[in-house]
Each structure stands twice: as C-alpha cells, then as structure tokens.
Structure 1
Amino acid sequence: MNHVDVFISRKSADAKYAKPIYEYLIAEGLAVFESDHTLKELGNADYIKAIDEALASTTHMIVVGSSSENIKSSWVEAEWLFFLNRKRSAKTSGNLFTVITKDFNIADLPPSLANYEAIPFNRKNFPIIYNYVREKNTPPKPAPKNPFPAEVQNKYLWIMLAVLLISMLSVFIYLKYQPKDITIFAKPDKSLSLDSNYPVFSGGDISIVIGNKEERKQLLSNGEINLKQIPSNYIGKKVPVTLFAKYWKGQTDSIVLGKSITLKVIPDGSLGKISGKVIDYDGNPISGVSISVDNDTIVDNEVDGTFTISLPFRLQKEYYRMEYSKSGFETYKTTYFPVSGHTDVPLPRLKQ
C-alpha cells in the first residue's frame, strides 16, 4: 500500500461521523485510510493485511468516537495503541487526536488519549482537523480559535424520518383512495352556431352509471349536478352518461370521471326532420313536387309523393315556412312544426 497521510480509526457504529471527515480531507488532497471507503477502493479481500500496512505507513491518526466503549473496543483500541507505540518509538512524528461527539464525556477518554487533543465533532471544526494533518509545505486554513461545540446528534432522527414518511404515505393513500365529489356541467356547444329560433337549453336530468348503480339528478339553474362520495377507483374511468332534456342531448354517451367535467349538449334532432306526403284532393300521390324550406333548402319529393328532409343543426328551429309547387298545381304555403310528425299535404290542381 502507498503512504497514508491520515488513518481514521473508529467502530462501525461511528462510521456516520468518520465519513464526512474522510470526505473533507480527501477533497483537500490528502491520502486518507477509512475502512469502509478505502478497502472498497482497494478491492483487497485481505482486510487485516491492508489495515496493518496502512497503520504502519500512516503519518497521522484520528480516533473518532461517540462513547468511551466504542473507543475502547478491541479493534479500535488496538489501532490507536499501535500508532501510539510508533510515536513513542519515534517511528512517526505525526499527530494523534480524538474527535468526539455531543454525548461523549471527555473525562471518559482513556488516559493515553487524554494526553492528546480532543476536538468536538462539528463541521465548523474541520479546518482545525486539517491543520493538524496537513502536509508541512501547505498553508494552514483559517480556523476558529476555540473549537465549536459538538453538533447535536439526534439519536432518533431515522425514527423521526420513518414516522414522517409513513405519515406522508398515509396522507397520500387517504387522499388517493378516499371517495371523491364530482361536478358535471351541461353546456350547449357554441361551435354549432345554432339558429336564434332554436329552443334555449333550459336544463333537464342527467343519468350516470357508476359500477352497477345509476344516479339520476336534475340539473341546477346553472346547468350543473353534484355527485357525492364517488368511489376513488372510478376516477379516470369512462362511464355511461345520458342527458334527458327537451330538444337537447349529450354530445357523447360517456364521460371520463374527474373532479370537474363539462358535458357538451347538442340538438337531439327532433326539430331537424321534416317528413310528409304530397297528395291531390282525391288522396292520390303527386311526385316531382318542389319543396322549399324557409325559402332556402329545396328538394323534390319521391314517386310515391313522400318526402323526408334532414336539416343540419344550424338550420333547426321549432317551426319552418314550407312552400310546395309543381307545374299544373296551385302553390301551397304552410307552417310546419317538426314535432307534429308526418303530415299529408294536399295540393290542388289549377283550374282549366
């Protein structure tokens, strides 16, 4: 193993304190041995040999501990005693010091370590640590004259985090799976540009089937209905919906459930069908009759005298001005109401 500037000795329980010290010193360009990181980088299965080589070549040693028991544990004590013997035999002139945590009572330091510096674990004190282990030809870092007290370490931090995560998960599950309230708005589709004489949409009932249950509610004056406590597993799913309103129907027969839904309504077609039969006064069919609707749409009837006219949405309304004409017959004008259904139109012959 190559030369080591700093050997960090600690028990596994104190790895969380050793890690930030290791990362800080590594970032400053020092060669640092810390078992969790260095052995992994070396990829050396002979851990004991690697540790012994690092101990024999290191210049400085930092002992990290959160309790006297951890510092006195067999492996940790063996490491700092080995380094201490090297110092006493003048095999190294490096520094030996301890980094202790908030809960550590400095009076509990082993006598051999108590003779050396003890620095509270605080990231603001890391420049002090660096100055103890820096290479001689590098300048010291600005450091506090008096070390900052050790950072407060919350023993129950992970428990608190776990409780917080569980609480957040519980809230998420509650919000996700609790029953939802849904509002449906029924509004005429303005893009149709309907005739001004088409009946105004004045409400009605909406039927919606969720699962095997049908709910039918009357629209409020603003064109909405409110559904309460809809099972959350239906949110985002498509369900059947039907509008019951005079002269109007839903543009679609299904909707995707969500918090707020708009159901566009369009004419139901009941005012767009004109049908009948042109006959003479004896009841015989007359064919080839030119039929005008509002002086605009013109069609010819069939051989049997019948006619059927389907008007687009924009031309539909409650009644139409009809005109029937054919050579040899008198022109017949009337007002047709689509809801009256099929009608017979008598067309008198011209007098000779």
Structure 2
Amino acid sequence: MSILSFWLEIILFLIDVSLLVIGFRTKNLTLRKMLTKRQHFIILLTFIIAVFAFVTISSILKITRNDNTLQCTIYVTSITENDESVFKGEIIIDFGHDRDIKEIGSDKSVIFNEIPNKFKGEKINIKTNISGYDLVNPEEEFIFTGDPIYLKIRKEIKLGNIKGYVIDEFSNDYLVNVKIMVESDTIIYTDSSGRYNAMLPETMYPINDRDYYILRISKDGYITERKRYFPLSGKQEIRLRKETSKH
C-alpha cells in the first residue's frame, strides 16, 4: 500500500471514530447503555491512536516532500587581485516564474533551499545587486544541477573613471598641462582643452561609490590643491588660484 493510500485509510478511520465519539457524547442513553466501560475505553484509545497516526503520517509526507527538493549554493568570488572586501548585497535567482532573493553571507555564499526537483537540468537566471561590483559576464547562462555555482564578479568599471576640467579661479580660462596625482600613485595631465579623463587600474578602485579618491592638483604659478573625487559623480570642476593672486 502506498503512503497516500494509507493516509486516506487513516482519514476514513478517523471519521468513523469521530462519529462514534460524537454519538457517545449525545444524550442517546440507549447507545451508552449498549457500551460497556471496556468498550468506552477501547473507543477512546482507538481515537487517540488514530490522531497519533494522522500526525505521524503527515510528518512522513512532509519529509518525503522535502526529499524531492534540492538546494542551490552560490559562491561569490572576485577576479580582482587581492580583493578581500566583504561583499554587501544580494543574489537574485529566478526558477521559472518564482523569484527568490537572499543576502550574501559573511563567507561570501548564498544557499537557496527547497527548490522543486522539476527545475533540475533547466536554465536559471541569476542576477546580483552588490555595492560596487558587477558580474564579469552578465549574459552567462547557468544550468541548475544541484551542484554549487561559482559566480564571478569584478569591481564596477565606472568606479575607476575620473574626469573633469581645471580652470583659473578668476579668469575662468581652461588650464592646460595641469598635473593631477591620484592617491599618490597615478599621474595624469589636462589636455589642450583643460580636461582630464582617465581610467584607473582596478587595484585602485574604492569599495563603493561612497568612498573617494584624493587628487593632488598642481601647476607652475598656481597654489597646489587637494580635492576629493567621488566615483560616479560625473565631471568635476577644479579651480586653481594663482600664487600672486590677492584676496
């Protein structure tokens, strides 16, 4: 007999016993007189056993249902060299029309539980929402097998782009060949239009757009300035004051 058939038999048995108990609690004195104390005890004991069996079978069915589900473990790894950052964000995964979202754990992994077995071998859509990071290959397709998935990310490219222009504070003239040192590491110069635009190496990227670069701006005849540059802030205007200027 299958578990389902046995479960149905238990339900029918419970109904029969319940009817006996209900009748037993009525004012039907004839029925009461027909039953001895021993029979009363047997009916009550049978009812208790039936309830216990019902709870047990329900638990077995739940376990059986869980045995037919899988889990998907996703490990998030950065391709940026020596990147020991703690990833703050979430993984978004679609199984058919069902979407699940989970926060990335401190061990840089996410576990999705109780995935129906019917999705095994199917394509699944995985997206990320991680501060300061993008997927290395956003178009990559994943086949769900129940095995761990390793998701590669890299620092958001826009975090490494700094751009703007430098002008004279009083004349508003664009200044050419202004030296801009970024984080005491990289040096760039303004072009013939007084503009600068550079893509920094990935190892210099800040963790997110709330961090900033320190720029040291200098040119002969002008007072050297230090400015903060926030990634994704767009073009930044820098004004330099001549050393001979009077205030």
Shorter-normalised TM range = 0.5 to 0.7
How far off its partner does 1:206 sit? 0.8
Displacement of 1:278: 0.7
Alpha-carbon distance change, 256 to 327 in structure 1, aligned in 2, over 3 angstroms: farther
Task: Name the structure 2 match of 1:313.
Answer: 202
- Displacement of 1:247: 1.5
Partner of 2:182 in structure 1?
293
Corresponding position: 1:239 with 2:129: no
The partner residue of 2:137 within 237, 252, 257 is: 252
Paired position in structure 2 for 1:109 = none
What's the CA shift for 1:258? 3.1
Residues 150-169 of structure 1 aligned to structure 2 (within 5 Å):
none
CA gap 1:287/1:209 in 2 versus in 1, 3 angstroms: farther
Equivalent residue of 2:159, what SS? Answer: coil
CA distance in 2, matches of 1:251, 1:238: 19
Is residue 280 from structure 1 mapped to residue 168 from structure 2 by the alignment? yes
Q: Deviations over 1:21-70 (max 9, x none)?
A: xxxxxxxxxxxxxxxxxxxxxxxxxxxxxxxxxxxxxxxxxxxxxxxxxx
Q: What letter corresponds to residue 275 of structure 1 in structure 2?
A: K
Q: What amino acid maps onto 1:230 in structure 2?
A: I
C-alpha displacement of 1:251: 2.6
Listed one character per residue, the Cα deviations across residues 289-335 of structure 1 (whole Å, up to 9, x for unaligned) are 22221232222223332222211211222332312223333332333
Alpha-carbon RMSD across the aligned residues, in angstroms, is 2.9
Given the alignment, which residue of 218, 239, 243 partners 1:346? 239
**TM-score of the two chains, using structure 2 as the length reference:** 0.58
Which of 1 and 2 has higher RCO (CA within 8 Å, sep 6+)? 2
CA contact (8 A) 1:188 1:201 kept: no
Q: What residue is the counterpart of 2:230 in the other structure?
A: 337
- Kept in 1, the 8 Å contact 2:87–2:104? The answer is no
Partner of 1:322: 215
2:157 alignment partner, SS class: coil
SS in 2 for 1:314: helix
Q: Is the 8 A contact 1:242 1:249 kept in 2?
A: no
Give the Å deviation of 1:215.
Answer: 2.6
Letter of the structure 2 residue corresponding to residue 216 of structure 1: I
| AA aligned opposite 1:293 | V
**1:300 & 1:247 partners in 2: Cα distance?**
27
Contact 2:71 2:112 in 1 (8 A): yes
2:99 alignment partner in structure 1 = 214
1:266 aligns with 2:154: yes
CA distance in 1 between counterparts of 2:118 and 2:177 reads: 60
Structure 1 residue runs without a partner (length 5+): 1-177
Flag the 1:322–1:229 CA change in 2: closer, same or farther, 3 A.
same
Secondary structure of the structure 1 residue equivalent to 2:107: coil
Alpha-carbon distance, 1:179 to partner: 4.4
Supply the distance in 1 between the matched residues of 2:104 and 2:223 (Cα, whole angstroms): 49
- Separation in 1 of the partners of 2:227 and 2:71? 52
> How far did 1:192 drift?
1.8
More strand per residue: 2
- How many pairs does the alignment contain? 171
Contact residue 185 and residue 224 of structure 1 kept, 8 A: yes
Distance 2:117 2:165 in 1: 55
Equivalence for 1:228: 113
1:186 to 56, 76, 82: 76
What TM-score do you get using the length of structure 1 for normalisation? 0.42
Query: Aligned residue for 2:13?
Result: none
Q: Distance in 1 between matches of 2:167 and 2:119?
A: 57
The answer to whether the 8 Å contact 1:180/1:231 transfers is yes
